[in-house]
Amino acid sequence: MLEIKNLVVQIEDNRILNGLNLTVKDGEVAAIMGPNGSGKSTLSYVIAGKEDYEVLEGEILLDGQNVLEMAPDERAAAGVFLAFQYPLEIPGVGTMTFLKACLNAQRKARGEAELSTPDFIRAVNGAADKLEINKEMLKRALNVGFSGGEKKRMEILQMALLQPKFCVLDETDSGLDIDALRIVSEGVNALRAEGRSFLVITHYQRLLNHIVPDVVHVMSKGQIVKSGGKELALELEASGYAEYRTGEAA
Amino acid sequence: MAEVKNLRTGAETGLSALFESGRKSFAAEEAIGREEAFKFFEATGLPSRRVEAFKYTDLRAAITDAAPPAEAPSAEAARTAVAVAKGFATIEAARLTFVNGHLVRALSDLSGLPEGVTVTPINDAMGKGDARLKRLAPVEQARENAIYQLNTAFLADGVLIGVTAGAKPDLPLHMRFVNTGSEPFSTATRVLVDLADGAELSVLESHEGPDGLTYQPNDALDVHIGKGSVFRHSRTNTEGSAAVALSTISVKLDDEAELETVAVVTGAVLSRHQIFLNIAGENTKVVVNGAAMLRDGQLADSTLLADHAAVGGVGREQFKTVIDGNATGVFQGKIIVRQAAQQTDGKMKSDCLLLTDEGQMMNKPELEIFADDVACGHGATCGAPDEDLLFYLMARGLPRPLAQSLLVQAFLGEAIETVTHEGAREALIGEIDAWLHARG
Amino acid sequence: MPAVQETIDRVRSIDLDQYKYGFETTIEMEKSEKGISEDVVRFISAKKNEPEWLLEWRLDAYRRWLTMKEPEWARVSYDKVDYNDIYYYAAPKRPAAMSLDEIDPEILKTYEKLGIPLREVEVLEGIAPERRVAVDAVFDSVSVATTFKKELEKAGVIFMPISEAVREHPELVKKYLCSVVPATDNFFATLNTAVFSDGSFVYIPPGVRCPMELSTYFRINERDTGQFERTLIIADKGSYVSYLEGCTAPKRDDNQLHAAVVELVALDDAEIKYSTVQNWYPGDNDGKGGIYNFVTKRGDCRGDRSKISWTQVETGSAITWKYPSCILRGDDSRGEFYSIAVSNGMQQVDSGTKMIHLGKNTTSRIISKGISAGRSQNTYRGLVSAHKKAKGARNFTNCDSLLIGDQCGAHTVPYIESKNASAVFEHEATTSKISEDQKFYCLQRGLSEEEATALIVNGFVRDVLQQLPMEFAVEAQKLISISLEGSVG
């Protein structure tokens, strides 16, 4: 599904990723854990194509196609979805307007017909019900005045609606209470499928109790330094990240 | 000390000559103070950037030729000019049609208006010395304004609209101003709206003309809103690409009066829309909005003066400008709160999106406060569309131009969502879409 | 309800005669003839032993000034100054002092009364507080003492009266004087260029962090004199200096003119912090007397990554006309303006700043707090502009006004001009009275109304006070309280 080879990335002369290699197989849920500043969020932004990051070397292949050549919207149409750590508020843009515009833009890019309005509304309502999203929220401007938990649920709703191939969850658990964490995780689990892979970025093991990963990677100083099964997350929870910080400036 | 007087420009001497030669045909000038208005113009001339109120819009430099007042069009020319109906013209409404600044009765339809609403052509009113003409220019500051005074001096046509106490017509009144022709001309129209107590009226105003034609429309709207009355007003400027379009609204509000006005500008090479509010009554409510979308070579100026003279006024003023290419946006807004106007709650905001590097925006939001128990504020922002928002939209699959359009729509939409009349609101959104569409 | 009636009455009844710096000192003075003429300009230049080039600059400025008109755009009204009824030069008769012991004891006493420590020896002996501030004191037209001169010399810092600098460092003066505020800049600046008598000169060499705060204290003493001081500060590459300025004048029935010019130049990576506490005599309760403070202050961030920060606390003067500005010429340079302007009685303030963004990625920040009381008028006037080449320019402006009583006015006149899509400007302004809820909360906790008001006003100006060096902040806080006495504890 996704293959990252020798990725070197810097932002304003600061090197963040140092020759990172990572493979996520079809249908796999991969977790990335690591201390603050190890480059986790940078990785998610680079996969999605944020401009501020300068890719010096390496490639990111999605089903063999190098996405680094593509604009963010082209990557989205190709199936990349990033659930933002801090979803943005867009005053004046109605949530439904936004969802419809995104869905149809992606369908158009893939040469598919636009969804009819009744079908679209049915799809949104179905996803909203599962995520316990109040219909009133859908009438408001996107993310404006939403709580942290509501914003995260809205991200998962978008994921459910857009049916991406490769989903990156950037610290989706941050700022969630236990109930919201359960709802969001169930939403993600419901989307697990043969042709869809997930990259779950988190600090904490607790999210991985709900979204059980197939593999766990540990990231430090811009590289994957250790990989293992789901039990690796438990080890980390017990031992902390201390051993992965060695060598960092005090 | 001896003042060195500016040399008069060709346009200024031309305007003087046009006034002198037209004097014979002007009707009942004393009723509207035409001569005084012209004397004012003679004394001040066209305002240049040295005049503070015209700092960013130099009319002396922009108006190089005095265009002669337009003749009334032939019946056929008028019919052809209005043949294509769009925007407000597609809304069900009572309708007054002006072609080149002249009321065309054959193309007007007032049958939908109830009894409480009267419409009198201003030339009839001037002939009869109608007492309501004294209500023209209800705001002191408008009378000290060169654009307004030029309109008075050359006033050619218009209507008086009266709404009796308690009358609330269902239909809006659409005033459609269409310009047409092949030679340069100027127009000067005046509409007076007088709402008695407890009345309501919605007015839609559209101004259009062909691209490439050099013409100078100058229109003024004087409104008196009686006690507890509501006046709603939406205006579109889709004038032709070479038009210099000047317009003034001056409004006096009595106790508990409400005003809602919005102006959407996409047309004219240079436009200046002036709004003068005399908030004389207590506990009034005003919403004044503007949305300008500009392309290469255009300049659009929105100038607002809200003069709070009585307690408890609430004012919400919001102006949005989107600039694409080498164009200039100007916003000058001033809130005055006089000593008697305690508990005034005034908020004014001007935001600008610059889509390309060549555009420029000049903001001058002012507060002049003499009462202590007030909550007043103003804000101004200017910049390119937020890159983080664009990225978020693109990460969801929207191509960059579409993402930008969506942000522009949302940005401008805030100035339009306050419009009460649904059809008018949709027509204004249509103007935004059309502009974005033409942008490609 | 507006500020409680009692408070308003107290404000009205304040006798501004309590201005505590309003005493007069009797010293023998030498003056130029009254009025202005080429001869007077020559007289001043001769008194200062100036080189020919400077006399020529002065005469050019004077001739230019004759053709200029007094500006009228500010929101102030006053009886026009009779420029021929002023002494343009007044100096103590004793010859310039070589050491503090040679200074006229009357002048020393004056500065002691003002709380300005000229006797560095006291500081060195540990009698006075240990924070050390080098002071240049200007008494009417001349600089009377510059302290800590030796220690500064060791660091390579030049801090001396500008009249001395003209003789000792002509190359620096000639290079930088009038390079920020041209001789033709405006009516008052041009007048200053023609007749400036003294002021301070500072040069910080490359890479030097000035070892102490530098300070000038201005005092107008003599009747019918104008004060036209000139300050020039140059921070060479990578240097830093913090400069403080304070002003007082005796109480008089007639208006006195103060038309100073301050020029700052910051080269690459240099930083200048300029703080002013302006407490000229404001006139009495009916607007009689007081200083006309018509000042041109401008900083030029000439080098890349340079920074100039203006902080001002304006409580005095009958009329203030003053716009400390920054020209952000160097790439990545930064300008700041922090202002508290308090007006009471019949005072009129028209003050603000200009931030001219010319270089790439230049940033500026404006925080202005206006407090109007009595029958005063207080205007913020400012310009923020980004030129075509100022890619990535950023400005944030916040102007808040507070009204105490219903006889005063607070006005905001900002000009925001952006000629660049990559420039991001944000401006916000508010005008309000002291929140009754906040006041009630304080009263409920046991504070008196006066205390509550003082507390809230202090909170209102806090962002700006924090920008001042500590002792100055304390003094400024006291001054604000005194200025608002009657409404503030």
| b/e per residue B156-173 (b: at least 16 CB within 10 A) | bbbbbbbbbeebebebbb
| b/e per residue B69-82 (b: at least 16 CB within 10 A) | bbeebeeeebeebb
Which are the contacts of B128, defined by CB distance < 8 A and separation ≥ 6? Answer: none
State residue A4's pLDDT score.
95
What is d(CA B270, CA B272) in angstroms, rounded to the nearest whole number? 7
Chain CA centroid to CA B74, Å: 27
Per-residue pLDDT tens for A40-99? 999 999 999 888 899 999 999 999 999 999 888 888 889 999 998 888 887 777 888 888
Model confidence at C118, pLDDT cuts 50, 70, 90, reads low
Chain CA centroid to CA A48, Å: 9
Q: CB of C448 within 8 A of CB of C418?
A: no
Out of B391, B397, B409, name the one closest to residue A109 (CB): B397
Which has the closest alpha carbon to B394: B402, B386, B382? Answer: B402
Does residue C131 register a pLDDT over 50?
Answer: no
Partner-chain contact B378 C428, CB within 8 Å: yes
Inter-chain contacts counted by CB atoms under 8 A, chains A and B: 79
Q: Where are the alpha helices (DSSP H) in chain A?
A: 40-48, 72-77, 95-109, 117-130, 135-139, 148-162, 178-191, 206-210, 231-239, 242-245
Q: Which residues of B touch C (CB under 8 A)?
A: 52, 339, 342, 352, 354-384
Q: CB of C202 within 8 A of CB of C195?
A: no
Partner-chain contact B397 A141, CB within 8 Å: no
Per-residue pLDDT tens for C349-360? 999 999 999 999
Does residue C109 register a pLDDT over 70?
Answer: no
Using CA atoms, how far residue B319 sits from B290, B301, B424, C342, C455, in Å, is 5, 11, 18, 32, 37
What are the backbone dihedrals phi and psi of residue B14, each rounded to the nearest 5 degrees, phi first?
A: -60, -45
Partner-chain contact B410 A72, CB within 8 Å: no
**Low-confidence residues of chain B: pLDDT under 50:** 1-4
Partner-chain contact B356 C432, CB within 8 Å: no
Neighbours of C94 (CB within 10 A): 15
Q: Which amino acid is at B238?
A: T
Q: Does B384 touch chain A (CB under 8 A)?
A: no
**Chain C nearest C-alpha distance from B264 (Å):** 22
Q: Where are the alpha helices (DSSP H) in C5-116?
A: 5-13, 38-47, 52-66, 105-113
User: Six-digit token pair at C106?
Assistant: 């009357």
State residue A35's pLDDT score.
85
The angle that helices A148-162 and A117-130 make with each other, rounded to 10 degrees, is 130
State residue C142's pLDDT score.
60
Partner-chain contact B413 A92, CB within 8 Å: yes
Model confidence at C129, pLDDT cuts 50, 70, 90, reads very low
Q: Does A56 touch chain B (CB under 8 A)?
A: no
Q: Which amino acid is at C483?
A: S
* B372: chain C residues, CB-CB within 8 Å: 2-3, 403-406, 408, 433
Q: Which residue of C has its CA nearest to B381?
A: C426
Does residue C25 register a pLDDT over 70?
Answer: no
Which has the closest alpha carbon to C343: C304, C306, C315? Answer: C315
Q: Does A86 touch chain B (CB under 8 A)?
A: no
Partner-chain contact A92 B410, CB within 8 Å: yes
State residue C222's pLDDT score.
64
Model confidence at C132, pLDDT cuts 50, 70, 90, reads low
DSSP class per residue in B208-221: E--TT--EEEEEEE
* B411: chain A residues, CB-CB within 8 Å: 92
Q: Where are the alpha helices (DSSP H) in C358-433?
A: none
Does residue C111 register a pLDDT over 80?
Answer: no
Model confidence at C147, pLDDT cuts 50, 70, 90, reads low
Q: Which amino acid is at B98?
A: F
Q: CB of C243 within 8 A of CB of C270?
A: no
Average pLDDT over residues C405-414: 90
DSSP class per residue in B405-436: HHHHHHHHHHHHTT---HHHHHHHHHHHHHHH
Per-residue pLDDT tens for C65-93? 999 998 888 888 888 888 888 888 877 66
User: Six-digit token pair at B370?
Assistant: 């003499």
Does residue C97 register a pLDDT over 50?
Answer: no
Q: Which residue of B has its CA nearest to A77?
A: B397
Q: Which residues of C touch B (CB under 8 A)?
A: 1-3, 73, 388, 401, 403-433
Average pLDDT over residues A145-166: 90
Dmax (CA) for chain C in angstroms is 69
* B360: chain C residues, CB-CB within 8 Å: 417-420
State residue C83's pLDDT score.
87
| b/e per residue C347-364 (b: at least 16 CB within 10 A) | bbbbbbbbbbbbbbbbbb
| b/e per residue A155-177 (b: at least 16 CB within 10 A) | bbbbbbbbebbbbbbbbbbeebe
What is d(CA B327, CA B298) in angstroms, rounded to the nearest whole number? 5
Please, which residues bridge with residue C431 across strands? B376, C401
What is d(CA C331, CA C416) in angstroms, rounded to the nearest whole number? 21
Tell me, what DSSP letter sits at residue B3?
Answer: P
Give pTM, 2 decimals.
0.83
What is d(CA B398, CA C43) in angstroms, rounded to the nearest whole number? 75
The angle that helices A178-191 and A117-130 make with each other, rounded to 10 degrees, is 130
What is d(CA B301, CA B401) in angstroms, rounded to the nearest whole number? 27
